[in-house]
Structure 1
Amino acid sequence: MSGHPMISAAEMEAISARHPALVKGSNHSRIRTIALVAGLVLYMLYSWWFFAIGGVLGNANWNIAGTYLADWVSYEVRPDVRIAGDGTMQVTYPRFSPLGPNASPDWVRLEKETVTRTVETPAATEQAAPTQKNSSSFSFMAPGAATGGSPQTETAAEPQTRTEEVVTRAEIVFNSSTSITVADRAATATHAGETLQVRLDGPGKVIAEGALPSWATQPYPGEKITLAFGFTGWADIDADKVSIHNRFLGWANFIFDTNSPFFGKSYSEIMSLIFSGERIDPDMSNLALAWDNILYNSEWQHLDVWTKLLQTIVMAFVGTLFATLIAFPLCFLAARNITRNFVLNQATKRLFDFLRSVDMLIWALFFTRAFGPGPLAGISAIFFTDTGTLGKLYSEALENIDDKQREGVKSVGAAPLAVQRFGVLPQVLPVFASQALYFWESNTRSATIIGAVGAGGIGLKLWEAMRTNSDWENVAYMVLLILIVVFIFDGVSNLLRSRLIGKRAH
């Protein structure tokens, strides 16, 4: 078995003595590497100190970040337990509750009683008819003034007897270890094996019995108490109201909203209605009605979101296509080895610099102001930016071609146009197409950003959902659609580029 002979220390010293530059160069290279690493470490330490990264991380409220992420993949049901002065209660839900207008979840357990109350109606004010002595009389006095006004009389308040069903005890069960019970102007919260009892003695008198557990906070004594149950949800206990936020994994009413006749029905019931049930709407079949309800879902707005997504795709495609068509002829003027005119070269290159020096987002703002909000502003922004960038890349590719192929075509007496066609284009066309495909895929993402400033597409829809600070599940839905489109376009673009490069290699 053969191997390389080992060099002894004496031989190494002899080589160093004969070739000092070789050893010296190696030492210099080692010192440069150490200095570079040390400089990088010092710069990172300086950045950590200058931006106070340690303090920022230490003071960050990670609970808010967790709640924010949870909002993307869940929804909340928010019943309010309102407490009257006599201790009776009423449970109400928001107008657009995910449970619909007649919400009655099994995790809200109520005990009710029928009570008879005597309620005094407010005194009614009656205005007597004025006595007009002269129909043409006119007064500058204010209506109802002491002089010339109509006399007003008040009728006595009349008591009315009402029979109402009221809630005397409400128990909200979040899960097996978390619940809140409200009764007799008191609230009892249980979570993670701990129990908190709170007396509600009136405005400014929210009093906790004992020390607050780690999941309860009260800014000042007597103020409302906030209970944080992690992903399960949270609640506010105030003197006259207990606000519940119960969180559930998933997206509520994603298929049918609460206004749909299919809302709340099981899959089998929906299928039965669609294929064998009587018509719900006499003007269309149940299948057409179900599809219409999905498209025009008021909470998720599927049709509008899909339309805006398609608008974004078209915006990116058209803007990139126009930029490619304009950059292609201009790059020949910018390439010094193709167009041997210094003034024309420099003018074209400075045009490319101008177009690409202004960011696409800034161009979008300019064109939104010029054309108004819409896809035209987005297409123009992509067109301007990519014309400059592609023009620069194309001209540099032309300047780096192999002149032997062009000279060979020229040597057979071909015309100048034929020289470019057969001597230049075969070398650069695959590169041009590959770069155009990459920019098309990249602009699909960029079109979302510029859409947020009014350039149309799904970006504007995404910004509107984020601005409400409550529809984060809708934001997650649109982000997921954008990711799917980007993944598809990335795969198609990579496939086409590999084919182009493969053809070039043969």
Structure 2
Amino acid sequence: MTVIDANRMHEIETRYPEYFHRSFRQRFGGLMILIATLLYSLYAVWFFDLPKLFAEAHWERVGIYLSQWVSYDVQPEFRIGDDGSIDIRYPRFSPLGDNPHPDWLVNNPDGSITVSISGTSRSVTVSRSETIVTAHGVSVPVEVSSGAPKVVGPVPGWMTVYDDNVLADLGFAGNVSISVDRVKIRKRFIGWANFIFDTQSSFFDKPVGEVVSLIVSGPRIKPDQSNLSLAFDDIWNNSEWQHGDVWTKLFQTIVMAFLGTLLGALTAFPLAFLAARNITPNRLLNQILKRFFDFLRSVDMLIWALFLTRAFGPGPLAGSGAIFLTETGTLGKLYSEGLENIDNKPREGIKSTGAQTVLVHRYGIMPQIVPVFVSQTLYQWESNVRGATIIGAVGAGGIGLKLWEAMRTNANWENVAYMVILILIVVFIFDAASNALRHRLMGTKAH
């Protein structure tokens, strides 16, 4: 055990004062940051009134929307005539087509109709005088022969009685609305209906093997067009999913991002040389250009898109212009700061040989900045692919506008899911390609 005397201890304190005489900030800085963070969190909870927000939120809608992303429903309506007849009707654009005969709908010998909602555990039997709803292990008759529908017996928790109708909630499988003269059923299916061929296609509702056989070696459905060409046209012009329009708008989004980023980079590159203090020793010009870059990037891309759609009308031109203006400011700032941080020795060495300014820039500056500039530009391009989707929603064209239109209907959530998946795939692809190119340019290994 080593004993340190007073003189040695004083010598150590003198040599390392930062360890023995710590300031108030050093001693309590971490605790103060923790307390400040806690106070700010409490302020945010009070400011946004989070308890009330969470209490009044419609959490049940989350499940409804998510289920609609991966499913579709069919809505047969049974109209009961005065003579006891039951007329079955479907919506105009039913996923089953113009002449549906689903196997889950059975005509019984007594004239009633049974609809299987979810196997045998959930079903509805419609007759002239009553409708029987079977769910959760019980069968509940609802009389419809009087002035208003009447539940016979106790009303279960999944059934709600109103003045003129009775609503039975069968969960994800669907629901049933019963009134005196009609019974409307919403039956839900997992999947995306008619994703390949819509109800107007010649290939609609045909088995996969038959479709392949028709395309490969079957007789022509239309004499003036091959079956392969006809199948492609039916898929591309699918009226329900609009594949052609969706993919065209997606390509517009990619072009908007590429064109706006490219033009921004080409404009920012020469301006950055004028804004860099070590390249252009003109302080007034440096400051003017740097403030110009600050102005362009301080106005959000979405705001630029709103201005340009007012000027040029909605479309991809406004989107490309918004990206161009934003990227000119962002890349101009990044490029000029990169130029100001280069090693001046190669540049001074080439300048000492009497070389012209263009050659000094070419051999003294460009080898240092090109990998960095390209890397920064690729990153911005990757980011703008996502940004182009957002600005499309305000009228700047591309898939963003189509996505917003589908969301506004509050009914086409499966179409929303389709477009979101396409956007995610494109973002993932561009992210991987951009990362690979950046690592290759920088000479590092991608992880």
TM-score (norm 2): 0.92
Q: Decide which structure has the larger Cα Rg and report it.
A: 1
Give the Cα separation in 1 of the matches to 2:295 and 2:115.
63
The residue that corresponds to 2:301 in the other structure is: 360
Q: 2:352 aligns to what?
A: 411
Contact 1:334 1:344 (8 Å CA) reproduced = yes
Q: Select 1:101's aligned residue among 93, 98, 101.
A: 98
Check whether the contact 1:194–1:213 (CA below 8 A) recurs between aligned residues: no
In structure 2, the residue corresponding to 1:340 is in which secondary structure? coil
What code does the residue aligned with 1:432 have? Answer: F
User: Which of 430, 433, 449 is the equivalent residue of 2:374?
Assistant: 433
Q: Which residue of 2 aligns with 1:116?
A: none
Which residue, 257, 260, 279 being the options, matches 2:198?
257
Counterpart CA distance in 1 for 2:375 and 2:146 is 72
1:91-170 aligned within 5 A:
91-111=88-108, 168-170=111-113
Q: Which residue of 1 aligns with 2:323?
A: 382
**Equivalents in 2 of 1:188, 1:38: separation in Å?**
63
1:35 aligns with 2:32: yes
Query: Alpha carbons of 1:187 and 1:402: their partners in 2 closer, same or farther (altered >3 Å)?
Result: same
2:443 is equivalent to residue 502 of structure 1: yes
Instruction: After superposition, give the CA deviation of every residue in 1:399-434 in whole Å (9 maximum; x if it has no partner).
Output: 122222322222333322222222222111111111
Cα distance in 2 between the residues matched to 1:463 and 1:18 = 69
Question: In the aligned structure 2, how far is the partner of 1:34 from the partner of 1:391?
Answer: 40
- Over 3 Å counting, the alpha-carbon distance change for 1:400 and 1:91 in structure 2 is same
SS in 1 for 2:140: strand
Q: Mean alpha-carbon deviation: is it higher for 244-253 or for 419-428?
A: 419-428
Residues 16 and 23 in structure 1, CA contact (< 8 A), matched pair in contact too: no
Moved over 6 A (4+): none
For residues 16-27 of structure 1, the aligned pairs below 5 Å read: 19=13, 22-25=19-22
Q: Is the 8 A contact 1:16 1:22 kept in 2?
A: no
Q: Of residues 224, 229, 233 in structure 1, which corresponds to 2:174?
A: 233
Q: 1:502 offset after TM fit, Å?
A: 0.6
CA contact (8 A) 1:202 1:240 kept: no
Partner of 2:132: 188
Partner of 2:218: 277
> How far did 1:16 drift?
8.8
Letter in 1 for 2:74: V
**Aligned residue among 178, 185, 204 for 2:122:** 178
Give the corresponding residue for 1:344: 285
Query: Which residue does 2:389 correspond to in 1?
Result: 448
Larger helix percent:
2
Aligned pair count reads: 440
Equivalent residue letter for 1:360: M
Identity of aligned residues (%): 56
Question: Which segments of 5 or more consecutive residues in structure 2 lack a partner in the other structure?
Answer: none
Deviations 1:72-125 (A, max 9, x none): 111111111222345432111011100101111111222378xxxxxxxxxxxx
**Residue from 208, 221, 226 that aligns with 2:151:** 208
Instruction: Quickly say closer, same or farther: Cα 1:337–1:236, change in 2 above 3 A.
Output: same
Q: Deviations over 1:268-299 (max 9, x none)?
A: 11122222222110111112211111111111
Matched, 1:482 2:426: no
Equivalent of 1:327 in 264, 268, 284? 268
The AA in structure 2 aligned to 1:108 is: L
1:292 corresponds to: 233
Q: Which amino acid aligns with 1:69?
A: L
CA RMSD of aligned residues (A): 2.4
Greater shift in the superposed pair: 493-502 or 222-231:
222-231
Give the one of 37, 53, 57 matched to 1:56: 53
Q: Would the alpha carbon gap of residues 375 and 28 (structure 1) be closer, same or farther in structure 2, given more than 3 Å must change?
A: closer
Q: Structure 1: give runs of 5+ residues left out of the alignment.
A: 114-167
- Whole-angstrom distance in 2 between the partners of 1:416 and 1:324: 22
Structure 1 residues 239 and 39: alpha-carbon distance in aligned structure 2, compared to 1, 3 A threshold = farther
Instruction: Note if contact 1:79-1:91 (Cα within 8 Å) is conserved in structure 2.
Output: yes
Partner of 1:165: none
Distance change in 2, residues 1:47/1:17 (3 Å): farther
Report the secondary structure of 1:25's partner residue.
coil
Q: Does 1:471 align with 2:412?
A: yes
Counterpart of 1:89 (choices 86, 108, 111) is 86
Query: Is the Cα–Cα contact under 8 Å of residues 83 and 185 in structure 1 kept in the other structure?
Result: no
How far the C-alpha of 1:202 sits from its partner, in A, is: 4.8
Of stretches 309-318 and 79-88 in structure 1, the one that deviates more from structure 2 is 79-88
